[in-house]
Amino acid sequence: MSKVTFIGAGSTVFAKNVLGDIMATPALQGFELALFDIDLQRLNDSASMLQNLKKSSGSTCTVTTYTDRKEALRGAKYVVNAIQVGGYDPCTITDFEIPKKYGLRQTIADTVGIGGIFRNLRTIPVMLDFAADIREVCPNALFLNYTNPMAVLTNVMNTYGGVNTIGLCHSVQQCIPGLFDHLGIDKTGVQAKIAGINHMAWLLEVTRDGEDLYPEIKRRAAEKQLEPHYDMVRYEMMLKFGYYITESSEHNAEYHPYFIKRNYPELIERFQIPLDEYPRRCVEQIKGWEQMRGDLVNNQDLTHERSHEYASYILEAMETDVPFKIGGNVMNTGLITNLPKEACVEVPCLVDRSGVTPTFVGDLPPQCAALNRTNINTQLLTIEAAMTRKKEHIYHAAMLDPHTAAELSMDDIVSMCDDLIAAHGDWLPKYQ
């Protein structure tokens, strides 16, 4: 029996999507779905939910819970990772509240920026522990990483963890449907090429029957900008830099130095920027969990339709040798020629029985590559900090972050980092 291990299986809704997708795929029947989480209540909730789904769907997959991570991983062919180290309380609160004291405001704080840096620093040691277990008990497994910050963690697992890792994010497959629906353009028959870095990949080409659709997209986007709407940051970036970005406006507002500025408070309203959006979502999810828990965990008639998440399609392609194309996060082995080779990039990949094969992209438009590099700088310095345990590289990562550097002096950045290190306490290893 082949085995899929899900680490962070207490993420019940996400487990339903990924593992429910596997149950709904004929070619993936008979797999053991091995669940592991450090929260035993949430682990058992997910197991109950999946047992209900197994019964209602008639799937022949088996659902097993583990309290020993190494045993959960032993013999796995595929490992799905969806953890969050430190959770909402205390770590997410810390990531937002301390920078706010310095006048640095954020929206999501899970990718780059000061919040992304510290989420990385507390997550990387845990991921490297996973890697050590995987090398011991399932060295040939494919590691499917869904945990943010995507680019850094996928980079670390490949570069330092010695684990075959693909980073997966649903912003690529949502890009065309979301953009075209909002602009009222028919998306039937559209061909697209997307590449860059995670959360800042670019819609490089978009055509139908050989016709370039960008002129019409930009015309309609310019009209949309005359009234407030939820995607104003991305449209502004496209109209100024020429290309649409995969990830949402609330994310991209904090990846660049142009939108969240103390000296220009009117930009927040003009571009509809939802400050403190991620903590707000966390509070709403915590409030709504008990209702959702009843609907998911105790529902004997629970059903599931296959989602757009890539995991089951990757497994199906590898098990059947029927190729499938994804947008994946991989190391830049000459794939994007004007981004650093040390970076993790998001490019089209072909999946079949031989595994995940990234495709060559070549040069990005120079302005797109330049914007990517501003975020890659912080990513690479964050990895340097995590691997050397030197505080100076935490400072470097923060000082190179575009939004942080645009708002704070170097002295304030260093002081803020020191405050964050102290507040994290045992959530971080010791830095010198």
220 by Cβ neighbours in 10 Å (0-12 / 13-18 / 19+) ranks as middle
Map residue 208 onto helix, strand or coil.
strand
The answer for residues whose C-beta is within 8 angstroms of residue 243's C-beta and 6 or more apart is 202, 203, 204, 365, 368
Out of 170, 199, 251, 393, pick the active-site residue.
170
Strands 344-352, 355-358: pairing is antiparallel
- The torsion region of residue 420 among left (phi > 0), alpha (psi -120 to 50) and beta comes to alpha
164 by Cβ neighbours in 10 Å (0-12 / 13-18 / 19+) ranks as middle
Q: Where are the beta strands (DSSP E) in 182-235?
A: 191-197, 200-208, 211-212
Residues 242-275: b if buried by 16+ CB within 10 A, e if exposed: ebbbbbbbbbbbbbbebbbeeeeeeebeebebbb
Active site residue 256: no
What is the four-CA torsion angle of 372, 373, 375, 376, rounded to 10 degrees? 110
- Gap between the Cα atoms of 320 and 311, Å rounded: 14
Torsion sign over Cα 132, 138, 141, 143: negative
**Contact in structure between 335 and 346 (CB atoms under 8 Å):** no
Active site residues: 170
